[in-house]
Structures are given as C-alpha cells and as structure tokens.
Amino acid sequence: MENGKVKIGVLTSGGDAPGMNAAIRAVVRTGINKDCKVIGIHKGYIGLINGDITELKSKDVSDIMNRGGTILHTARCPEMMTEEGISRAAAIYNILGLDGLIVIGGDGSFRGCKALSERGVNAIGIPGTIDLDISCTEYTIGFDTAVNTGLDAIRKLRDTSSSHERCSVVEMMGRDAGYIAMWCAMTGGAEEVLIPESKGVITSDMVIEQILMNRSKGKRHNLVVVAEGVGGTVKLAKKIQDITGIQTRATVLGHLQRGGVPTAVDCMHASMMGYLAVKAILDGEKNKIVAFNRGRYELIDINTALSMTKKIDSEYYDVVKLLSI
C-alpha cells in the first residue's frame, strides 16, 4: 500500500470483447470512489512484464462505455507460458506496489492469474470473451454483443437467401467453443449447426440430407451455421450446391464479430463485475474469479474455477432442428 492508498492494476488480455471498456470504467470509477489508485496496464500481460503502465483517472474512462474493443489494448502473451515471464510479471507487480491485479480476459488469461497467484500476486479475474467458454461462469463479457452481431448478419442474409431461394452457410467465431454458433443458429432459425463440440458427429452428408428433407417439406431457402473451429465453410457450401443443385453461398463473419457497440446486457454485467472485482480486493479476497451463475454474481477461487468444466446442453441442438421446419 502506497501513502495509505490501495493500489489496483487492471489489464485486458487475450481476444478483445465488446464490454471490456465498460468493465475498465467500472474498475476505475469504483476504485477512485473508494480512494484507491488505479493503474492501467497496456497490452495485457506483456505490458505488466515491460512495466508499460499509466495511472487512470476518472476522466480517462469518460465516454468509453459504448466503445467496443479495449482502451488498454490487448494481446496474447506467450511470455506468460514461461517461468521467466511469470516471475518477471510478479516482480513488476511488487515493484509497482500493487495490492491487486484485475485481469479482464478468457480462460488462458486466467491461467496467467493462477500462475501469478502462486508467486504472491493477488489476481482477480473478470470473464471477458465473446466465446462464453469459461467454465466457472454462465456469462462472459462480449458474448451477448457477438451473438447479436451474428444474428443481425443472419437476418440480412435471410433476406437475400429467401429472395433467391438459396442456401446460406454462415461461419461464426469460436475456435474451441460453439456457444456463439449455437445461439445464432437457434435465434436465427437455422436448420443445422456445426460446432467444435460435435465435430465429426454431424457430417456434411447429414447436413445435406436435412436440407433436402426440409426442401421436400416446402422450405424454399436454407440456413446452416458453422463455428470457426469446425471450419471448411466454403467447401461445405460448394458440396451442398454440387450435390443438391441448390445455389449455396458461404459467408464468414470473422473478426467483424469481435467489434461493435456493446449491448446493454454486456454493459450491465461488465459494470457489475468491474465493481465487484474492486470490492473483492478491498474486502481482502484473494485470487478469485468474478462469476455470474443462476442469476447471481459470486466469487470463485481461481483454482476451483480452472478445474471446472461445462458443455453446451445437447438439447439446444435438438431444439434448433425441431424448430427449423
């Protein structure tokens, strides 16, 4: 503690997610209101390792709530996979005299928190990833915006696809997890969804069979959602067209899905989680993840959090198919 003030560091790490700025704003404003000093660390863990920091004042976070991305910038940090990098990050934490480090990021970023906690750092994680693939929490900052971006794209594609009586194959982000794809498939009225979790189980032949069956029942256009981790979207579109004779177009959303103005849901959770992360440090909590489960916020021990698993309810898949015709 420096001059009696609690000193809190904050960084964003891994892939950026809409709502991260709202979380930074909440950390800074809560901290300042509770008489803490808040230090912004640039570009994730590499900024900590290099001591690339700025003190953040209340006005530094004015007008950032509605901006996608992260004003602190972010990076994936291979150095945090090495003993040397972790030790250096912990040493800089001590040199800066921090009482807590708030990390806004995904699972990989939380592994960095765990490694630092083993070297005396008090790391508090806020789940920030569009992928929703953090096991200890039902909500991650950015997911709602990413799903709405995907749904908006689907609705636009549906206009042209139905006008031409075509099939649309749309690829959503999600290298390792299919939550975005599943939610977009359900809310966009897709008839098939291919996600990494069921890779190899749902084959392109099954997709084609479903399309032909739906056409035979009178459907005049089709929508298939593919998660990035399954890949092969353009190839799949070509195969559908070659075998069925139905004109088929592929659309890959890619990084478009990581940007944009965060939704109210993302801003709400980001604000509460930012506030709760600062409160956790002031309450003397150590090495916790702020999570949202069964309608309530909670703090989960980092080791417990990282040992948890979750998977997409297989009933979602059944319902997507059931409702598609």
Stretch that binds ligand F6P, among 47-55, 159-167, 173-181, 277-285 (CB under 6 A): 173-181
Q: Which is nearer to ligand F6P, 175 or 311 (CB)?
A: 175
Does 281 bind ligand F6P (CB under 6 A)? Our answer is: no
Report, in Å, the least distance between residue 258 CB and ligand F6P: 5
Binding mask 180-219 for ligand F6P (x = CB under 6 A): ----------------------------------------
Among 107, 131, 133, 144, the active-site one is 131
Q: Which is nearer to ligand F6P, 126 or 240 (CB)?
A: 126
Q: Which two tokens stand for residue 300?
A: 């989960």
**Cα(133)–Cα(178) distance, rounded to whole angstroms?**
9
Q: Is 107 a catalytic residue?
A: no
Q: Which two tokens stand for residue 49?
A: 């390792």
How many angstroms separate the Cα of 131 from the Cα of each of 178, 264, 309?
8, 18, 15
Report, in Å, the least distance between residue 133 CB and ligand F6P: 8
- Answer for the pair 171, 251: CB distance below 8 angstroms, yes or no: yes
Single residue of 38, 136, 173, 226 touching ligand F6P by CB under 6 A: 173
| Residue spans of alpha helices (H) in the chain | 20-33, 45-49, 83-96, 107-117, 143-164, 179-188, 204-216, 233-244, 264-282, 302-307, 314-323
**Cα(265)–Cα(246) distance, rounded to whole angstroms?**
38
Q: Which residues bind ligand F6P (CB under 6 A)?
A: 15, 106, 129-131, 173-175, 228, 258
Active-site residues, by number, are 131
